Structure 1
């Protein structure tokens, strides 16, 4: 028998197509398409629901993303299957918005870092500080030579734009992390960083990436050496400084916390803009630059603080990024300041040019330093005197309130008529629903009567059907529904409240017939009972005198006395140093008067943990 040699056969033909695999792919595609269509339908269903303006805008963006069929940045709607709810859609819309904001911010960061101008200098070596100081001195020397009288009206020999970056915006707690300045004749800007912190990996700072984050290995300056370098210049009143501060006077507060006081702060470009045009939509530096920049040489996109860093401190961000942003700030600040100065020179008219600048130079330019001095000094308060006034005014307020009820004859009939007026829609809704209830009751009674008559005619009154109908008829008659009319509609309001805006509006506009002049104070609004509108009415309408008396006592007690004393359930605004501290704002009211707001940034009971029992 001969040996049999096994033969190896190679099958080089392609395998037959797997029909089931192709079917599975097709089914998956169909399911994906069906799911997408279902998601779009769910979004459309939510768009037909009641949404806030912001929610509707977000959901419409989500609808566009799903409708386009793109899947790249499209958040998932479904969490665990089942019906897609309104909350699911809003959550996904919010996620889409956040992702787009993050993507846009990343693009802006990359663009900013890639386009740093050659005359933007970010100093990170302490050894370079003397050279910076010399450039600052050279700017002052050049201005005194080339612009010998330009700033004479402001009482200074030179002028630069300055700014501090900080850990936040609280004028008493937050501290500076960097200083920037624009030197106009030298045409260069500087940023001196000294307080950036590495927050990578910390809770709440997951948004930081390698491009935008400050790293502990990154170089920055020593705080004490920077302050020693810049304070001699910033404390010189002969050399002027411009800031974009407004009411908070943030930069001047920061300097005091750093151990020196800025002198020569003769220009606040926010307040100057308010003097030029008090009706600006926004007085922020970036909105003003975006609006007027073409007039003073700023073209292209103007990124806001939130565009770059969101609603947070710049401290954990990359020094190069913050530095470019900070130098752009002082460049914008300088160009805006210079433009405002020239505009004030020719305002208010050709016949009287320079009057606005003269006014600003003699009054407004002195306010920043004065305001900060007042704010930090605070005011001593006679608490015993205020307590005596509280005891005097409280019974007078109660009497004034009682006089309102008597003067306007506010009784049950008044309250009922007021209720029917301000709740007319609710009353009409109740009448319609009551009519339907009566109709249903009448139909149900007729049905039960028919059953009863049928059983009685057939002599089957012993059946459960009969007894049930008798019991149900009794129940329906016992409902004793009130007639569906206004007289029988329940009251939504049972008493008049002088602090209720709707009640007050009825009394003023409906009961007393005072002509509505809200539009003179608040564009597009009607029937206002806001304090500023009411004050104008009180001056002109004799019929409102009882209300004016109540308002006067309430303002004295709730605005001036009780917040100081910490009485009537209010926390005292007296700070731990025993004084009241306010922030001042020139032109802070619609009439251009000075205004002040109390400081509310830190808890005044912070020292209670150190109290001991006697």
Structure 2
């Protein structure tokens, strides 16, 4: 047997592309495995990242370049033994940011507890309530003596800033856990806790520590005794209260759930700020205080609720911590309200007289209590009347849709032209594919004919090859492929649908020739059939009257007649939250209650009702 000499040229790439690809992948994996965390972060920083991802990647970069104290989460980036991925770095960065946020919150909490002012009073013993009420009365007496006419425009004799802490922000479900008030002439604030809970050791509350957590052994007031003590004052309309509630009117709702009503609520610093400057970036109490605090003596850091507690209820947090925060809230609220009052009083109109305060006093100061009354009362709905309207409007809508078909002569020819317009690119693709299909068919036919002629010339017509060629030729000639042109292209749309935006756009812009003015409503957009654009067209274009009729009946049915019954609450009424500043034009707006799914009410239905 002859010797076989095998030579391997290692410098030449393998001819097998699959093997070459595997070799390249292995080289990439080897290189990635040798990549340092800093190199990986640099590589990932060049990728397309969301703002959240970029912040996380940057946190890892900063941690890696820090000389000392690198967080362990920044050191361990690989999820396995392979390369460092974007997901690895983002996850590590989010851990770093979360750790930093926890550390910052702990420092804020420690600072807040350490710097509690002497005039911040947190009452924990029921026996101290009469002393607090006497201080409240003394504040009112002093204001009537020292500020006899200060609040005359608002129709009250005195004013304090008030606030409730609660289990959440749902005005119908959540309950209050504490009450705070600022007494301006006495220059002191009070917090009355009565609903804090010990959540240590409960799943989901691991963030609580000994400094920030409420403990069951911590003393607090009795809810019923607090409500009995404060409700006479809060219900008194002659003595004014300011809140920072805005459209939620949360505190007034809270009082109703606690069994009494707040009257004399004549100042809402959120609504007042809207009147002073409707273009504020934020109307939250803390952002406004941070922005304008220098004008009324509030300097230094102003921490938001999230800064202190995160996106959680204050109920499981320390009474001391929440109390200091709550008293600062009413202090800020008082300072802001007082400043707003003076700004309105001094604002001059063209005739030199200040009218802004008159406007607020006569109208806006009455709205908080009015809005809450309307929201709690709700509206009785005539369901039988709505059923009659549905029965009346449904056939009218169907007729209006049929009128669209007849008015615009929408038939087979219309649908064909619409299809050719809307699917021009699809038709072009079909024509090109059909040309190739016809060419392949012709080529195959010639091939089969050649086989047949060759076999016949050789006298081999009994061969299977010959018989197969004859059969295949007959099949190909029977196909009768359509010509490759627009006329013979298939229809991609076979009927007109009034609910299809593309179909409507063809009808409006192509068939009727309506000038496209979408850009006036939606920058950078064209050929819109959105409701706001169409409403403008309906007012100006007589040719669109049939479509306008359909839109009118659809809005009546889908927005009101069929939707209102689905929004009823357990009492059979519609309840909505009113917003006096809910629109750019200053008109009222409202939004339905969305805190509890309406489906929950079905569990109370009986078999008879079903």
Normalising by the smaller structure, the TM-score range is: 0.7 to 0.9
Partner of 1:12 in structure 2?
Answer: none
Q: Shift of the alpha carbon at 1:492?
A: 7.6
In 2: Cα distance, 1:395 partner to 1:224 partner: 58
In 1: Cα distance, 2:252 partner to 2:298 partner: 27
Q: Shift of the alpha carbon at 1:478?
A: 13
Give the structure-1-normalised TM-score.
0.78
1:495-538 residue CA offsets vs partner (Å, 9 max, x unmatched) = 65544556656655666565666676667877665544544443
Partner of 1:289 in structure 2?
Answer: 289
Residues 142, 185 of structure 1: 8 Å contact kept: yes
In 1: Cα distance, 2:187 partner to 2:390 partner: 60
In the comparison of the two structures, how many residue pairs are matched?
A: 570
In 1: Cα distance, 2:255 partner to 2:246 partner: 16
In 2: Cα distance, 1:493 partner to 1:302 partner: 61
Return the match for 1:589 from 583, 594, 600. 583
Residues 42, 84 of structure 1: 8 Å contact kept: no
Residues 432, 484 of structure 1: 8 Å contact kept: no
Q: Shift of the alpha carbon at 1:279?
A: 3.0
In 2: Cα distance, 1:171 partner to 1:560 partner: 25
Partner of 1:64 in structure 2?
Answer: 61
Q: Shift of the alpha carbon at 1:95?
A: 3.4
Partner of 1:43 in structure 2?
Answer: 44
Q: CA separation of 1:39/1:526 partners in 2, compared to 1, >3 Å: closer, same or farther? A: same
In 2: Cα distance, 1:306 partner to 1:504 partner: 47
1:168-187 residue CA offsets vs partner (Å, 9 max, x unmatched) = 11111110011111222222
Q: Does 1:393 align with 2:393?
A: yes
In 2: Cα distance, 1:603 partner to 1:138 partner: 46
More off after superposition, 127-136 vs 238-247: 127-136
In 2: Cα distance, 1:510 partner to 1:121 partner: 73
1:459-494 residue CA offsets vs partner (Å, 9 max, x unmatched) = xxxxxxxxxxxxxxxx99999999999999998876
Q: Shift of the alpha carbon at 1:103?
A: 3.0
In 1: Cα distance, 2:237 partner to 2:420 partner: 67
Q: CA separation of 1:128/1:483 partners in 2, compared to 1, >3 Å: closer, same or farther? A: farther
Q: Does 1:338 align with 2:332?
A: no
Q: CA separation of 1:135/1:61 partners in 2, compared to 1, >3 Å: closer, same or farther? A: same
Partner of 2:211 in structure 1?
Answer: 211
Partner of 2:592 in structure 1?
Answer: 598
Q: CA separation of 1:109/1:595 partners in 2, compared to 1, >3 Å: closer, same or farther? A: same
Gaps of 5+ in 2: 1-30, 455-474
In 2: Cα distance, 1:422 partner to 1:164 partner: 59
Q: Shift of the alpha carbon at 1:299?
A: 2.6
Partner of 2:195 in structure 1?
Answer: 195
More off after superposition, 209-218 vs 106-115: 106-115
Q: CA separation of 1:284/1:111 partners in 2, compared to 1, >3 Å: closer, same or farther? A: same
More off after superposition, 516-525 vs 261-270: 516-525
Partner of 2:21 in structure 1?
Answer: none
Alignment of 1:80-91 (within 5 A): 80-91=80-91
Residues 244, 333 of structure 1: 8 Å contact kept: yes
In 2: Cα distance, 1:77 partner to 1:509 partner: 56
Q: CA separation of 1:543/1:433 partners in 2, compared to 1, >3 Å: closer, same or farther? A: closer
Q: Secondary structure at the match of 1:140?
A: helix
Alignment of 1:144-159 (within 5 A): 144-159=144-159
Partner of 2:98 in structure 1?
Answer: 98
In 1: Cα distance, 2:75 partner to 2:154 partner: 57
Q: Shift of the alpha carbon at 1:370?
A: 1.3
Q: Shift of the alpha carbon at 1:401?
A: 2.9
Q: Shift of the alpha carbon at 1:213?
A: 1.5
In 1: Cα distance, 2:360 partner to 2:129 partner: 35
Residues 167, 177 of structure 1: 8 Å contact kept: yes
Q: Shift of the alpha carbon at 1:234?
A: 0.2
In 2: Cα distance, 1:329 partner to 1:480 partner: 84
Residues 73, 96 of structure 1: 8 Å contact kept: yes
Residues 200, 206 of structure 1: 8 Å contact kept: yes
In 2: Cα distance, 1:439 partner to 1:226 partner: 87
1:256-309 residue CA offsets vs partner (Å, 9 max, x unmatched) = 110100000111222222223333333222232233333333333322222222
Q: Secondary structure at the match of 1:164?
A: strand
In 1: Cα distance, 2:390 partner to 2:240 partner: 47
Q: Shift of the alpha carbon at 1:198?
A: 0.9
Partner of 1:472 in structure 2?
Answer: none
Q: Secondary structure at the match of 2:180?
A: strand
Alignment of 1:113-152 (within 5 A): 113-152=113-152
Q: CA separation of 1:407/1:163 partners in 2, compared to 1, >3 Å: closer, same or farther? A: farther
1:344-399 residue CA offsets vs partner (Å, 9 max, x unmatched) = 22446242533232222112211111111111111211111110101111122222
In 1: Cα distance, 2:146 partner to 2:549 partner: 62
Q: CA separation of 1:184/1:386 partners in 2, compared to 1, >3 Å: closer, same or farther? A: same
Partner of 1:369 in structure 2?
Answer: 369
In 2: Cα distance, 1:541 partner to 1:485 partner: 37
Alignment of 1:161-310 (within 5 A): 161-310=161-310
Q: CA separation of 1:111/1:31 partners in 2, compared to 1, >3 Å: closer, same or farther? A: farther
More off after superposition, 391-400 vs 586-595: 586-595
Q: Secondary structure at the match of 1:165?
A: strand
In 2: Cα distance, 1:524 partner to 1:575 partner: 42
Q: CA separation of 1:91/1:63 partners in 2, compared to 1, >3 Å: closer, same or farther? A: closer
Residues 241, 267 of structure 1: 8 Å contact kept: yes
1:430-462 residue CA offsets vs partner (Å, 9 max, x unmatched) = 97999899999999x99xx99xx9xxx9xxxxx
In 1: Cα distance, 2:597 partner to 2:321 partner: 34
Q: CA separation of 1:91/1:495 partners in 2, compared to 1, >3 Å: closer, same or farther? A: farther
More off after superposition, 329-338 vs 164-173: 329-338
Gaps of 5+ in 1: 1-29, 458-474, 566-571
Q: CA separation of 1:391/1:586 partners in 2, compared to 1, >3 Å: closer, same or farther? A: same
Partner of 1:462 in structure 2?
Answer: none
Q: CA separation of 1:203/1:229 partners in 2, compared to 1, >3 Å: closer, same or farther? A: same
